[in-house]
Amino acid sequence: MPQINIRVLKTTEDMLLVQQLEETIWGMDAIPIHQTLTAVKNGGIIIGAFDGEKLVGFSYGFPGFKNKETYLCSHMLGIHPDYQIQGIGKRLKDEQLLVAKDMGYNLIIWTFDPLESRNAYLNVTKLYGIVDTYIENCYGEMTGGINAGLPTDRLQVEWRITSERVQEKWMPKHIIYENLFQIEYPKEDLPVLVEPELFAPSGQGYEVPIPKQFQAMKTASPEIALNWRLQIRKVIQTLFSSGYALVSVRNTDEPVSYYQFVQKSMIPLQTKEK
Protein backbone atom coordinates (compact mmCIF):
# COMPACT_ATOMS: atom_id res chain seq x y z
CA MET A 1 0.00 0.00 0.00
CA PRO A 2 1.44 3.40 -0.96
CA GLN A 3 2.37 5.96 1.67
CA ILE A 4 -0.16 8.79 1.41
CA ASN A 5 0.69 12.29 2.60
CA ILE A 6 -2.01 14.81 3.51
CA ARG A 7 -1.61 18.57 3.24
CA VAL A 8 -3.57 21.80 2.80
CA LEU A 9 -3.74 23.07 -0.80
CA LYS A 10 -3.35 26.80 -1.49
CA THR A 11 -1.56 27.55 -4.76
CA THR A 12 -2.65 27.87 -8.38
CA GLU A 13 -0.61 24.76 -9.17
CA ASP A 14 -2.50 22.89 -6.46
CA MET A 15 -5.83 23.98 -7.91
CA LEU A 16 -4.84 22.67 -11.35
CA LEU A 17 -4.16 19.24 -9.83
CA VAL A 18 -7.59 19.33 -8.17
CA GLN A 19 -9.23 20.16 -11.52
CA GLN A 20 -7.55 17.22 -13.23
CA LEU A 21 -8.57 14.81 -10.48
CA GLU A 22 -12.17 16.06 -10.52
CA GLU A 23 -12.47 15.22 -14.21
CA THR A 24 -10.98 11.76 -13.65
CA ILE A 25 -13.35 10.92 -10.80
CA TRP A 26 -16.67 12.35 -11.99
CA GLY A 27 -16.25 12.65 -15.75
CA MET A 28 -17.61 16.19 -15.91
CA ASP A 29 -16.31 19.74 -16.14
CA ALA A 30 -14.23 20.78 -13.11
CA ILE A 31 -14.66 23.85 -10.91
CA PRO A 32 -12.73 26.82 -12.38
CA ILE A 33 -9.40 27.53 -10.74
CA HIS A 34 -10.31 31.17 -10.10
CA GLN A 35 -13.20 29.98 -7.93
CA THR A 36 -11.30 27.41 -5.83
CA LEU A 37 -8.34 29.76 -5.41
CA THR A 38 -10.63 32.59 -4.25
CA ALA A 39 -12.38 30.24 -1.84
CA VAL A 40 -9.18 29.19 -0.04
CA LYS A 41 -8.18 32.85 0.30
CA ASN A 42 -11.50 33.65 1.98
CA GLY A 43 -12.17 31.01 4.62
CA GLY A 44 -12.36 27.95 2.39
CA ILE A 45 -10.32 24.79 2.94
CA ILE A 46 -8.95 22.35 0.36
CA ILE A 47 -7.05 19.31 1.62
CA GLY A 48 -5.06 17.04 -0.70
CA ALA A 49 -3.86 13.43 -0.44
CA PHE A 50 -0.65 12.66 -2.32
CA ASP A 51 1.09 9.50 -3.42
CA GLY A 52 4.50 11.04 -4.02
CA GLU A 53 3.78 14.02 -6.30
CA LYS A 54 0.48 12.58 -7.55
CA LEU A 55 -2.75 14.00 -6.13
CA VAL A 56 -5.01 11.01 -5.44
CA GLY A 57 -7.71 12.56 -3.26
CA PHE A 58 -9.03 15.90 -2.10
CA SER A 59 -11.72 17.61 -0.06
CA TYR A 60 -13.00 21.06 -0.96
CA GLY A 61 -15.04 23.37 1.27
CA PHE A 62 -16.05 27.02 1.31
CA PRO A 63 -17.68 29.25 3.97
CA GLY A 64 -21.45 29.17 4.39
CA PHE A 65 -23.91 31.17 6.47
CA LYS A 66 -27.50 30.29 7.40
CA ASN A 67 -29.82 30.91 10.35
CA LYS A 68 -27.24 33.25 11.92
CA GLU A 69 -24.61 30.49 11.94
CA THR A 70 -21.33 30.37 10.02
CA TYR A 71 -20.15 26.96 8.85
CA LEU A 72 -17.85 25.26 6.35
CA CYS A 73 -19.71 23.85 3.36
CA SER A 74 -17.68 20.78 2.39
CA HIS A 75 -18.75 20.62 -1.23
CA MET A 76 -16.56 17.81 -2.60
CA LEU A 77 -14.66 14.76 -1.40
CA GLY A 78 -13.08 12.75 -4.18
CA ILE A 79 -10.67 9.82 -4.33
CA HIS A 80 -8.98 8.54 -7.50
CA PRO A 81 -10.62 5.21 -8.53
CA ASP A 82 -7.30 3.36 -8.09
CA TYR A 83 -7.00 4.53 -4.48
CA GLN A 84 -10.49 3.99 -3.12
CA ILE A 85 -11.33 1.84 -0.08
CA GLN A 86 -7.93 2.60 1.51
CA GLY A 87 -9.11 4.99 4.23
CA ILE A 88 -8.00 8.12 2.37
CA GLY A 89 -11.40 9.78 2.63
CA LYS A 90 -11.37 9.39 6.41
CA ARG A 91 -7.88 10.91 6.62
CA LEU A 92 -8.94 13.87 4.50
CA LYS A 93 -11.95 14.51 6.73
CA ASP A 94 -9.86 14.17 9.90
CA GLU A 95 -7.45 16.82 8.62
CA GLN A 96 -10.36 19.00 7.52
CA LEU A 97 -11.76 18.84 11.05
CA LEU A 98 -8.45 19.95 12.58
CA VAL A 99 -7.95 22.83 10.15
CA ALA A 100 -11.59 23.97 10.40
CA LYS A 101 -11.55 23.86 14.20
CA ASP A 102 -8.33 25.89 14.27
CA MET A 103 -9.99 28.48 12.00
CA GLY A 104 -12.94 28.80 14.38
CA TYR A 105 -15.58 26.63 12.69
CA ASN A 106 -17.93 24.54 14.85
CA LEU A 107 -20.02 23.07 12.04
CA ILE A 108 -19.21 21.45 8.69
CA ILE A 109 -21.98 20.39 6.31
CA TRP A 110 -22.05 18.45 3.05
CA THR A 111 -24.38 16.27 1.00
CA PHE A 112 -24.30 12.75 -0.41
CA ASP A 113 -26.57 10.44 -2.38
CA PRO A 114 -29.00 8.64 -0.01
CA LEU A 115 -28.39 5.38 -1.88
CA GLU A 116 -24.58 5.43 -1.60
CA SER A 117 -24.30 3.40 1.60
CA ARG A 118 -20.49 3.40 1.59
CA ASN A 119 -20.49 7.20 1.75
CA ALA A 120 -23.09 7.10 4.51
CA TYR A 121 -20.93 4.69 6.53
CA LEU A 122 -18.01 7.12 6.42
CA ASN A 123 -20.15 10.16 7.17
CA VAL A 124 -22.10 8.94 10.19
CA THR A 125 -20.46 5.76 11.52
CA LYS A 126 -16.80 6.75 11.19
CA LEU A 127 -17.01 10.57 11.35
CA TYR A 128 -20.02 10.81 13.73
CA GLY A 129 -21.99 13.24 11.63
CA ILE A 130 -25.77 13.17 11.75
CA VAL A 131 -28.38 13.53 9.00
CA ASP A 132 -31.92 14.88 9.30
CA THR A 133 -32.33 16.84 6.05
CA TYR A 134 -33.47 15.33 2.73
CA ILE A 135 -33.14 17.41 -0.46
CA GLU A 136 -35.14 16.26 -3.48
CA ASN A 137 -33.40 16.54 -6.86
CA CYS A 138 -30.74 18.77 -5.34
CA TYR A 139 -28.85 19.57 -8.56
CA GLY A 140 -31.63 18.99 -11.07
CA GLU A 141 -31.16 16.50 -13.89
CA MET A 142 -27.51 15.67 -14.56
CA THR A 143 -26.74 14.11 -17.93
CA GLY A 144 -23.09 13.13 -17.51
CA GLY A 145 -20.91 11.00 -15.26
CA ILE A 146 -22.07 8.81 -12.39
CA ASN A 147 -25.06 11.04 -11.59
CA ALA A 148 -26.82 10.63 -14.93
CA GLY A 149 -30.26 9.11 -15.24
CA LEU A 150 -31.90 9.66 -11.84
CA PRO A 151 -33.19 12.53 -9.69
CA THR A 152 -30.20 13.95 -7.81
CA ASP A 153 -31.61 13.49 -4.30
CA ARG A 154 -29.19 14.23 -1.47
CA LEU A 155 -28.92 13.85 2.28
CA GLN A 156 -27.28 16.71 4.17
CA VAL A 157 -24.73 15.86 6.85
CA GLU A 158 -24.27 18.00 9.96
CA TRP A 159 -20.79 17.49 11.39
CA ARG A 160 -20.74 19.44 14.66
CA ILE A 161 -17.03 19.06 15.20
CA THR A 162 -16.92 20.53 18.74
CA SER A 163 -19.91 18.50 20.03
CA GLU A 164 -19.91 15.48 22.34
CA ARG A 165 -21.27 13.40 19.45
CA VAL A 166 -18.01 13.97 17.54
CA GLN A 167 -15.47 14.60 20.30
CA GLU A 168 -16.56 11.60 22.40
CA LYS A 169 -17.60 9.43 19.44
CA TRP A 170 -21.12 9.18 20.84
CA MET A 171 -23.39 6.40 19.63
CA PRO A 172 -26.82 5.42 21.00
CA LYS A 173 -26.77 2.47 23.38
CA HIS A 174 -29.41 -0.11 24.25
CA ILE A 175 -31.60 0.95 21.33
CA ILE A 176 -34.09 -1.53 19.90
CA TYR A 177 -34.12 -0.90 16.15
CA GLU A 178 -37.29 -1.95 14.38
CA ASN A 179 -36.95 -3.22 10.82
CA LEU A 180 -40.31 -3.16 9.07
CA PHE A 181 -38.95 -3.61 5.55
CA GLN A 182 -38.41 -6.73 3.49
CA ILE A 183 -36.05 -7.41 0.59
CA GLU A 184 -36.95 -9.55 -2.41
CA TYR A 185 -34.82 -10.65 -5.38
CA PRO A 186 -37.08 -10.93 -8.45
CA LYS A 187 -34.51 -10.07 -11.13
CA GLU A 188 -30.80 -10.75 -11.65
CA ASP A 189 -30.22 -11.07 -7.89
CA LEU A 190 -30.88 -7.35 -7.49
CA PRO A 191 -32.50 -6.42 -4.15
CA VAL A 192 -35.95 -4.85 -4.28
CA LEU A 193 -37.45 -3.01 -1.31
CA VAL A 194 -40.86 -4.12 -0.02
CA GLU A 195 -42.43 -1.41 2.12
CA PRO A 196 -44.90 -2.08 4.95
CA GLU A 197 -48.50 -1.08 4.30
CA LEU A 198 -48.28 1.49 7.08
CA PHE A 199 -45.14 3.25 8.25
CA ALA A 200 -45.82 5.63 11.14
CA PRO A 201 -42.58 5.73 13.17
CA SER A 202 -42.90 6.18 16.93
CA GLY A 203 -40.42 3.68 18.38
CA GLN A 204 -36.88 4.02 19.77
CA GLY A 205 -35.15 3.50 16.47
CA TYR A 206 -35.51 2.12 12.96
CA GLU A 207 -33.36 0.29 10.43
CA VAL A 208 -33.86 0.91 6.71
CA PRO A 209 -32.16 -1.28 4.05
CA ILE A 210 -30.02 0.40 1.37
CA PRO A 211 -28.36 -1.38 -1.61
CA LYS A 212 -24.60 -1.77 -1.37
CA GLN A 213 -23.89 -1.48 -5.09
CA PHE A 214 -26.17 1.28 -6.29
CA GLN A 215 -24.03 2.32 -9.28
CA ALA A 216 -23.98 -1.26 -10.57
CA MET A 217 -27.74 -1.46 -10.03
CA LYS A 218 -28.25 1.69 -12.14
CA THR A 219 -26.47 -0.04 -15.02
CA ALA A 220 -28.12 -3.44 -14.61
CA SER A 221 -31.69 -2.19 -14.07
CA PRO A 222 -32.46 1.54 -14.22
CA GLU A 223 -36.08 0.74 -13.34
CA ILE A 224 -35.17 -0.97 -10.06
CA ALA A 225 -32.72 1.85 -9.27
CA LEU A 226 -35.45 4.46 -9.82
CA ASN A 227 -37.85 2.52 -7.59
CA TRP A 228 -35.24 2.54 -4.83
CA ARG A 229 -34.80 6.31 -5.25
CA LEU A 230 -38.51 7.05 -4.93
CA GLN A 231 -39.20 4.55 -2.14
CA ILE A 232 -36.25 5.59 0.02
CA ARG A 233 -37.13 9.25 -0.52
CA LYS A 234 -40.56 8.62 1.01
CA VAL A 235 -39.30 6.45 3.87
CA ILE A 236 -36.51 8.78 4.98
CA GLN A 237 -38.66 11.90 4.67
CA THR A 238 -41.23 10.19 6.91
CA LEU A 239 -38.56 9.49 9.52
CA PHE A 240 -37.17 13.03 9.40
CA SER A 241 -40.60 14.62 9.68
CA SER A 242 -41.21 12.43 12.75
CA GLY A 243 -38.09 13.76 14.50
CA TYR A 244 -35.56 11.02 13.67
CA ALA A 245 -31.98 11.42 12.44
CA LEU A 246 -29.57 9.02 10.74
CA VAL A 247 -26.70 8.20 13.13
CA SER A 248 -25.15 4.92 11.97
CA VAL A 249 -24.88 2.33 9.20
CA ARG A 250 -24.85 -1.40 9.93
CA ASN A 251 -22.99 -3.40 7.30
CA THR A 252 -23.88 -7.01 6.57
CA ASP A 253 -22.95 -9.90 4.28
CA GLU A 254 -26.20 -9.29 2.39
CA PRO A 255 -26.49 -7.14 -0.77
CA VAL A 256 -27.88 -4.39 1.49
CA SER A 257 -26.65 -2.36 4.45
CA TYR A 258 -28.94 -0.86 7.08
CA TYR A 259 -29.29 2.81 7.97
CA GLN A 260 -30.04 3.32 11.67
CA PHE A 261 -32.26 6.18 12.84
CA VAL A 262 -32.95 7.48 16.36
CA GLN A 263 -34.78 10.52 17.71
CA LYS A 264 -32.59 13.59 17.06
CA SER A 265 -33.45 14.98 20.51
CA MET A 266 -31.35 12.28 22.19
CA ILE A 267 -28.12 13.12 20.28
CA PRO A 268 -25.65 15.38 22.18
CA LEU A 269 -25.01 18.09 19.57
CA GLN A 270 -24.15 21.02 21.84
CA THR A 271 -20.53 22.22 21.96
CA LYS A 272 -18.56 20.14 24.43
CA GLU A 273 -17.14 22.23 27.27
CA LYS A 274 -13.37 22.17 27.65
The verdict on 117 and 29 lying in the same domain is yes
The verdict on 120 and 228 lying in the same domain is no
Query: What pLDDT, on the 0 to 100 scale, is given for residue 1?
Result: 63
Domain count, the chain: 2
The verdict on 50 and 149 lying in the same domain is yes
Sequence-distant (6+) residues with CB within 8 A of 207 are: 177, 178, 179, 181, 250, 258, 259, 260, 261
The verdict on 18 and 76 lying in the same domain is yes
Range of the structural domain that residue 252 is part of: 177-266
Domain end position, chosen among 134, 167, 200: 167
The verdict on 154 and 202 lying in the same domain is no
**Is there a domain that residue 210 lies in?**
yes
Query: What pLDDT, on the 0 to 100 scale, is given for residue 248?
Result: 98
Confidence category of residue 203, pLDDT binned at 50, 70, 90:
very high
pLDDT digits 0-9 by tens, 89-114? 999 999 999 999 999 999 999 999 99
The verdict on 160 and 209 lying in the same domain is no
pLDDT digits 0-9 by tens, 28-53? 889 999 999 999 999 999 999 999 99
pLDDT digits 0-9 by tens, 187-197? 778 999 998 88
Domain end position, chosen among 121, 147, 167: 167
**Is there a domain that residue 273 lies in?**
no
C-alpha to C-alpha distance for 165 and 23, rounded to whole angstroms = 35
